Amino acid sequence: MSLPLSPRDGGERYPGFSSVDESDHWDRATQGAVLVRLGLPPDIRFFTAREEAVARALFDQLLDQHSDPRVPVVNMVDSRLAEAETDGWRYADLPEDGQAWRETLAALDQDATERHGQGFPEVTLDQQASLLRAVQDLGYAKWHGMTAARVWSLWTRYACTAFYSHPWAWDEIGFPGPAYPRGYKNLGLDRLEPFEVRDARPAQDPAANAGGDG
């Protein structure tokens, strides 16, 4: 299964590669933990309807997911917050994670309304992106009374943990996922296992050539 991503943006670099195809080689505990992510996403329990809408738009932006199929990031984050599965710490100037999510989503929605007369989910994608860039650009300055960089860290940490725990995201980056009990036999530069797929466009260095050589 692959997520929609144009070759220009790094899509289709590992043609035919599928981490889940190898799931017979994973141990049972790991199969249980990973394969459930491919099932029906858990119902939203933590976010209010409005928070869900803002969070959905925020995650679509952060992870560039603008069409289906999508990794259900909003459900995955909601489920962590409902279960209070935090990282085990919070910044002294932010409330605990659940409350911090509620407050920052409301603040983002408020920014959109003040600037564009419509809430965050309702403004255009470009407007959403520039609202986010404005938060990011604040760095250690305050945003709605909170240190912007820490809000950014909260959003991106939860977003990345959800997205890159999903086998579809692994397929896009050439990562085979679980590796027990089989392990790896071919170590070293350019040495692949039979089930790994070589990068079809190795010259697509994202930095040297933003936009790619697709």
**Which phi-psi region, left, alpha or beta, contains residue 77 (left: φ > 0; alpha: ψ -120 to 50)?**
alpha
129 binds another protein (CB under 8 A): yes
**Residues 22-56, buried b or exposed e (16+ Cβ, 10 A)?**
bbeebeeeeeeebeebeeebeebebbeeebbbbbb
* Candidate residues 48, 184, 195, 213; the one interacting with another protein per rule CB under 8 A: 184
Q: How distant, in Å, are the alpha carbons of 70, 123, 189 from that of 186?
A: 33, 50, 9
Bridge-partner residues for 142, per DSSP? 147
- How would you class 114 by CB atoms within 10 Å of its CB: exposed for 0-12, middle for 13-18, buried for 19 or more? exposed
Q: How far is the CB of 135 from another protein (least distance, A)?
A: 11
53 binds another protein (CB under 8 A): no
Pick the piece of the chain touching another protein (CB under 8 A) from 41-49, 67-75, 83-91, 104-112. 83-91
Q: How far is the CB of 50 from another protein (least distance, A)?
A: 23
Pick the piece of the chain touching another protein (CB under 8 A) from 45-53, 98-106, 109-117, 154-162. 154-162
Pick the piece of the chain touching another protein (CB under 8 A) from 6-14, 41-49, 106-114, 115-123. 6-14
User: Closer to another protein at the Cβ: 115 or 157?
Assistant: 157
* Candidate residues 1, 33, 38, 134; the one interacting with another protein per rule CB under 8 A: 33
